[in-house]
Amino acid sequence: MLVFKFGGASVKDAAGIINLTKVVQKYAGQQLLIVVSAMGKTTNALEKLTKAYVDQKDDIHLIYNEIKDYHFHILSELFDPSHPAFDEVANTFVEIDWMIEDEPHDDYDFIYDQLVSIGELVSTRIVNAYLNHVGLTSKWLDVRGYIHTDNTYREGVVEWAKTCEHIQQDIPALLQKGIVVTQGFLGGTSENFTTTLGREGSDYTAAIFAACLKATSVTTWKDVPGILNADPKHFKDTVKFDQLSYTEAIEMTYYGAGVIHPKTIKPLQNANIPLLVKPFGDPDAIGTVISETAALYYEKPVIIVKQDQVLVSLSAKDYTFITEDHLSAVFSLFAANHIKINMMQVSALSFTVCFDYREERFDNLHNQLKQEFNVKYNNNLTIITVRHYKQEELKALIDDRTVLLEQLSRNTAQMVVK
């Protein structure tokens, strides 16, 4: 039994969906569960719609109509106007119509999940319809009835026992009858509200299904030849890893490598299921295989760049030393605001942390910290992480930038720069 995950770039247009079908046809006769992300940049557009709705901007309907037009254009390139997929997609968008007719009253993260999740629901409707259109028996599945989470909106925590019970109860029988198509990134609460698993969480979705179903492997189809040592958009002469260990993959994703969602690897490692990262434009290529037995030699350093960082320095208002009690209070506030620390440093009188800048969460945290501490911060920063580094390579990366914080260990160097 195989699990495939297709990202947004794989299904950004009609040609992508046709190519997805050709990839799937190569695995005819095998039990196959397909996890699909929102199409192209739809998640970004729905995030923009969410903010416009919460702020009650005048361009709400303009943004919304652009999103709908994009999807209906793809439909028109794949099907005749009478095909039922048009009604299925229109009915899915009705969920947005219902929300934006009323003024926002709920928590921002709750609203975000209810609106942004429509991207995956629509994309899977279209993919499922096209698979059936070309003669591949396919069943659309609402993932919200199978991946159960708590009420942490935008970062849903999976309730593993309940999730596996429901997946194992229904899906093996469905796989006997044909392909199963479902959504990445989404989960559902006990109150039947939608949650999301964190940005780019479709990889994690695939790993959850694979672990519960004891799949042979998970394949994520990307617009890159495999996992590279650096982002080719920012660096020349990148190299592809044919193999990676689970441990190295976990380290890379923890520090922000964007090819795989950080939570993806652990469930696969626990079940000893290999993860294949392959190019959807060349399905016969070897890509990268992540497994327990992968080679551990790294010829070139792994370079990970995360932008939109904020660096915060705290000190006690009475200028006393930073103690364990102070740190405990600070960590509790970060946890309560669902903010992950990317880098930190303690001195006698200050505690400095670097993390992703997310406006609404940062504002809440900042207001809470100010009550107990003196707070200084810089935003619009970049954190550069280098695994398996050499000193001369670090100097080249810094170039003419100003380094605000630096940490070196045996295998990893991190620098916050502007």
Contact 4, 26 (CB under 8 A): no
SS3 117: coil
Nearest CA to 205 among 144, 256, 150, 251? 144
2-291: CATH architecture? 3-Layer(aba) Sandwich (3.40)
Q: What is the pLDDT of residue 236?
A: 87
Cα 193 off chain centre by:
20
Q: What is the pLDDT of residue 293?
A: 79
C-alpha–C-alpha distance, residues 277 and 243, integer Å: 10
Buried b (16+ CB within 10 A) or exposed e, 360-385: ebbeebeebbeeebebebeeebebbb
Element holding 265 (H helix, E strand)? helix 265-271
Q: What is the 3-state secondary structure (H, E, C) of 132-174?
A: HHCCCCEEEECHHHCCEECCCCCCCCECHHHHHHHHHHHHHHH
Q: What is the pLDDT of residue 326?
A: 94
Q: What is the pLDDT of residue 259?
A: 80
Contact 152, 161 (CB under 8 A): no
Give the residue extent of every domain in the chain.
2-291, 302-417
Q: What is the pLDDT of residue 295?
A: 64
Q: What is the pLDDT of residue 392?
A: 85
Q: What is the pLDDT of residue 299?
A: 75
Residue numbers of the chain with a pLDDT score lower than 70: 295-297
Q: What is the pLDDT of residue 69?
A: 98
> Is the domain defined by 302-417 classed in CATH 3.30.2130.10?
yes
What single-letter DSSP state applies at residue 282? -
Q: At what angle do helices 118-133 and 85-100 cross, to 10 degrees?
A: 170
Q: What is the pLDDT of residue 297?
A: 64
pTM: 0.90
Q: What is the pLDDT of residue 296?
A: 63
